[in-house]
């Protein structure tokens, strides 16, 4: 009998050690993924999707932006009282303004080519650093969900400084595209006339599931478990579950015109996501899939076509 008790104790001890080790591994893994996903800093996740060409088709636009006369604008974030930073480039006496929203781990300067395009189309340009990016303060990256209220504050600041006759376009690329769509789902000042999103995701949970499988090669059930755990950490630290941060659900609430753009060879935010975003949108809408473009490369791949389509859309609705 005593021998059996010792045997059972040994089995339970081994089982307990295995459980503790397993939980420690899970905890370390989730800490790593949380840091990669939400904490500001350089991200290894982007290395796989980086792309470089010998000749830069947007070199002229980047040069224009580098030499442009930029004003500094600041405001406090809608939550957490962060100091947010932006560049503003006026365009004579224009009453039209484009607010440009950058992507994950980028900053306002990465939107330089788009600033050149909008400025040439007759727009003032307002380029914020999202919270936890560039020169803006922030503890965590919110993927557009808390940032949408910051965008609304930038709109109100623009109207207060430049006048109630402003006609405002909200434009974003990648995370900025998702932020634009999420912003469209909340009550906005009447001066906002249209939204343009380029390669934004449907919702943060779906995007994380895609990355877990495509980047980290986790099997479906393991990826789902990891993302669900990460969603709980997001709720605890940022106040929302990953599935709550939904562009799809946001565009359903929008009745303003929206242009959807996506690269046909986008492996980071899968091209299929544009279809769900587009189909869910209410109000006037148009879409364009840039056939040979990778993630956030539609303008670079088709600079003339990109400008033409944006210009036509703006002339139609602004």
List, for residues 82-100, the tens digit of each pLDDT value.
999 999 999 999 999 999 9
Tokens of 169: 């376009």
pLDDT at 22 (0 to 100): 37
Q: Which residues pair with 276 in a beta bridge?
A: none
Q: How many CB atoms lie within 10 A of CB 279?
A: 12
pLDDT tens, per residue, the chain with 318 residues: 555 555 555 544 454 443 333 334 444 445 677 888 898 876 555 555 555 567 899 999 999 999 999 999 999 999 999 999 999 999 999 999 999 999 999 999 999 999 999 999 999 999 999 999 999 999 999 999 999 999 999 999 999 999 999 999 999 999 999 999 999 999 999 999 999 999 999 999 999 999 999 988 889 998 899 899 999 999 999 999 999 999 999 999 999 999 999 999 999 999 999 999 999 999 999 999 999 999 999 999 999 999 999 999 999 999
pLDDT at 51 (0 to 100): 59
**φ, ψ for residue 149, nearest 5 deg:** -75, -30
Rounded Cα distance between 127 and 136, Å, is 12
pLDDT at 13 (0 to 100): 47
Q: 130-168 burial, b for 16+ CB within 10 Å, e for fewer? A: bbbbbbbbbebbbbbbbbbebbbebbebbbeebeeebbb
Rounded Cα distance between 43 and 307, Å, is 30
* Environment class of 41 (CB within 10 Å of its CB; exposed 0-12, middle 13-18, buried 19+): exposed
In what helix (H) or strand (E) does residue 126 lie, and over which residues does it extend?
Answer: strand 124-128
Q: Is 122 left (phi over 0), alpha (psi -120 to 50) or beta?
A: left
Entry pTM: 0.89
């Amino acid at each position: 009998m005593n021998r059996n008790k010792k045997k059972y104790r040994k089995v339970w001890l081994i089982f307990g050690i295995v459980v503790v080790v397993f939980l420690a591994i899970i905890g370390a893994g989730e800490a790593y993924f949380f840091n990669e996903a939400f904490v500001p800093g350089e991200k290894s996740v982007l290395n796989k999707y980086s792309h470089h060409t010998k000749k830069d088709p947007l070199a002229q636009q980047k040069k224009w932006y580098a030499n442009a006369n930029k004003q500094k604008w600041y405001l406090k974030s809608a939550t957490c009282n962060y100091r947010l930073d932006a560049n503003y480039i006026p365009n004579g006496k224009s009453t039209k303004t484009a607010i440009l929203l950058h992507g994950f781990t980028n900053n306002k300067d990465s939107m330089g080519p788009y600033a050149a395009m909008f400025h040439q189309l007759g727009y003032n340009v307002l380029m914020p650093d999202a919270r936890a990016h560039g020169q803006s303060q922030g503890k965590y990256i919110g993927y557009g969900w808390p940032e949408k209220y910051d965008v609304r504050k930038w709109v109100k600041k623009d109207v207060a400084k430049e006048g109630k006759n402003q006609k405002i376009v909200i434009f974003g690329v990648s995370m900025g595209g998702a932020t634009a769509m999420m912003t469209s789902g909340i009550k906005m000042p009447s001066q906002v006339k249209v939204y343009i999103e380029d390669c934004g995701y449907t919702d943060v949970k779906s995007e994380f599931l895609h990355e877990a499988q495509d980047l980290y090669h986790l099997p479906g059930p393991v990826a789902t478990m990891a993302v669900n755990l990460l969603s709980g950490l997001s709720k605890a630290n940022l106040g929302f579950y990953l599935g709550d941060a939904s562009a799809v659900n946001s565009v359903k609430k929008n009745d303003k015109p929206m242009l959807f753009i996506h690269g046909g060879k986008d492996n980071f935010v899968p091209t299929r996501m544009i279809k769900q975003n587009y189909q869910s949108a209410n109000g006037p809408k148009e879409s364009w899939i840039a056939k040979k473009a990778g993630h956030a490369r539609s303008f670079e791949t088709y600079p003339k076509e990109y400008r033409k389509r944006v210009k036509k859309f703006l002339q139609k609705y602004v």
